């Protein structure tokens, strides 16, 4: 087959965000748009001739179309082998697992994560490097630079390949190997957790659970691991059939978008345990009967209990958390006499720390938790970790969380999201906050006095790269915090995230509703930033 060079014109909007390039499907369907970005990836990678790449996605609309194009372009650009998930499916953590297990050069992951899917909704593409993690900024910057000057791409004219059966196929000089998207990942999970203990818990006839796959990628993974290998009843799974449009839902596992699961877990005679994962399987929400575990608390609780799980029985060497995530994990790290690193938002910032052996567990407040077993956050891993703890400790989710607060204190914590706000207003809000840095310290708002305000910057302790303007922090003299940040995961307008945190050591005051405990800080955030004025919103879109 003859490789074809196709002339093209560069697009100016292909700058990868926090998790790759995300746009609406019609944007990707523009002439040469997808091809330009894929070629920019391939052109930016040194020594790729004969290399092995991993390819797969979360099954959303346009996933299979994009995969067929990428396969033909990979063959035309000299890739030696591509491992692709059957039917084009691979969860993001499973893709990381496969890259690492087979020592692939890297991988292309097709997902817009927790964003809605469908013909007019969101699509995304990102490149993961050889450690299995998201490409660092120096790589994404090179990809973007190439996208601005690209004038042609290379493709192999060929029929689409059948991807529904396992095995090897030839595409030009390249081998395409269709792999089971679940098998390698399930094997890794079985090496980390006490499956026998979890099997006993799920089969005792008294313990009840619900897992909501939100019609996204984790349905097949939950079916294989939770039902087939661990013996959970089939009706423990909700929305387990992956759909191209995620059933018209918003596959973000939080109290707002996973409302069906929340209603079940907060009803009378609720199940003992509930969990949900997102579009590409890297996020998780943990619930007990009438109890919600914040992602920040979940990270801290898993760290404090790690030695009770086989894969971490020898202890953990360190913890990393994103800056907006609550400081609950810091208190565990201090008690364990291990370091706790504070990084910008974005899983790629954990990669160097994990590779250098500086941390074992890491997490973000945006429902992402993981460890050194892969280089992505991992939703089902967190669910299995919690099930292992419940099996070993023989306590409820609420009892484990409250016992943790009694030992370490409670970090009341909440995130308020204002989605799809006008970009101009969101930028004006951030500029207004920056303009106040010189005068905020020492000002008093009710019982709170500002100790400092800044724009978070991070120097990577491994490669010494510097990332600036990663979120505005306002710290108070009692340790409370308000953080403002514009998210890079949306495709329309801007998403303003406001993070609120207050520490409570008094066990008699640890049982308040989070929004009640944070009410004063919620008002102060609006007083300082002018949220209503700049966004035009009277309330957040989502509260978690």
Catalytic positions, written as ranges: 113
How far is 412 from 367, CA to CA, in rounded Å? 16
- Is the separation of the CB atoms in 194 and 310 below 8 Å? yes
Q: What is the DSSP-derived secondary structure letter of residue 470?
A: -
SS (H, E, C) 332-384: HHHHHCCCEEEECCCCHHHHHHHHCCCCCEEEECCCEEEECCCCCCCHHHHHH
- Is the separation of the CB atoms in 77 and 172 below 8 Å? no
Instruction: Give the residue ranges of DSSP H helices in 394-508.
Output: 397-408, 423-435, 437-440
Straight-line distance from the first to the last Cα atom of the chain, in angstroms, rounded to the nearest whole number: 53
Q: How far, in Å, are 201, 212, 229, 270, 380 from residue 233 at the CA level?
A: 12, 14, 11, 16, 17
Sign of CA dihedral 262, 265, 266, 268: positive
Q: Retrieve residue 290's tokens.
A: 């009438």
- Is the separation of the CB atoms in 71 and 176 below 8 Å? yes
Sheet of 122-128, strands arranged across: 21-24, 122-128, 106-110, 52-57, 81-89, 174-179, 167-171
How far is 119 from 117, CA to CA, in rounded Å? 7
Q: Retrieve residue 89's tokens.
A: 């499916």
């Amino acid at each position: 087959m003859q490789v074809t060079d196709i002339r093209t014109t560069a697009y100016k909007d292909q700058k990868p965000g926090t998790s790759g390039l995300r746009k609406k499907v019609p944007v990707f369907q523009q002439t040469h748009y997808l091809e330009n970005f894929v070629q920019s990836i391939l052109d930016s990678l040194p020594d790729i001739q004969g290399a092995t790449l991993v390819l797969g996605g979360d099954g959303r609309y346009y996933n299979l179309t994009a995969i067929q194009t990428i396969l033909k372009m990979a063959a035309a650009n000299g890739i030696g082998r591509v491992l692709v998930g059957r039917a084009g499916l691979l969860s993001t953590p499973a893709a990381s697992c496969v890259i690492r297990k087979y020592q692939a050069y890297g991988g292309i992951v097709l997902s817009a994560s927790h964003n809605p899917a469908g013909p007019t909704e969101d699509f995304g593409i990102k490149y993961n490097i050889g450690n299995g993690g998201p490409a660092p900024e120096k790589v994404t910057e090179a990809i973007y630079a190439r996208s601005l000057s690209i004038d042609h791409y290379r493709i192999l004219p060929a029929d689409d390949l059948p991807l529904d059966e396992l095995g090897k196929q030839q595409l030009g000089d390249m081998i395409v190997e269709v792999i089971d998207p679940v098998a390698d990942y399930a094997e890794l999970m079985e090496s980390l957790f006490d499956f026998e203990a979890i099997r006993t818990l799920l089969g005792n006839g008294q313990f009840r659970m619900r897992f909501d796959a939100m019609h996204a990628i984790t349905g097949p993974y939950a079916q294989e691991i939770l039902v087939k290998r661990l013996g959970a009843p089939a009706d423990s799974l909700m929305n387990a059939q992956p759909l191209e449009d995620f059933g018209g839902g918003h596959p973000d596992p939080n109290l707002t978008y996973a409302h069906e699961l929340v209603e079940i877990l907060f009803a009378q005679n609720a199940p003992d345990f509930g969990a949900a994962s997102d579009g590409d399987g890297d996020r998780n929400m943990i619930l007990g009967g009438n109890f919600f575990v914040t992602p920040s608390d979940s990270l801290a609780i898993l760290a404090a209990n790690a030695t009770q799980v086989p894969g971490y029985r020898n202890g953990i060497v360190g913890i990393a958390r994103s800056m907006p995530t609550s400081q609950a994990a810091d208190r565990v790290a201090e008690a364990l006499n291990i370091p706790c690193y504070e990084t910008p938002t974005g899983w790629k910032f954990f990669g160097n720390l994990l590779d250098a052996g500086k941390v074992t567990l890491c997490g973000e407040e945006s429902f992402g938790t993981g460890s050194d077993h892969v280089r992505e956050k991992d939703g089902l891993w967190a669910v299995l970790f919690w099930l292992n703890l419940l099996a070993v400790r023989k306590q409820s989710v609420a009892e484990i969380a409250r016992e943790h607060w009694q030992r370490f204190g409670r970090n009341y914590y909440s995130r308020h999201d204002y989605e799809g706000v006008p970009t101009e207003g969101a930028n004006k809000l951030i500029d207004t906050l920056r303009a106040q840095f010189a005068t905020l310290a020492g000002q008093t708002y009710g019982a709170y006095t500002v100790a400092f305000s800044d724009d978070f910057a991070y120097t990577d302790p491994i490669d010494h790269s510097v990332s600036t303007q990663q979120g505005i922090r306002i710290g108070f003299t009692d340790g409370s915090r308000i953080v403002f940040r514009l998210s890079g995961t949306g495709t329309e307008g801007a998403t303003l995230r406001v993070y609120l945190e207050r520490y409570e050591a008094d066990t008699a005051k640890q049982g308040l509703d989070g929004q009640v405990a944070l009410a004063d800080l919620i008002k102060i955030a609006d007083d300082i930033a002018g949220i209503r004025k700049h966004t035009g919103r009277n309330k957040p879109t989502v509260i978690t």
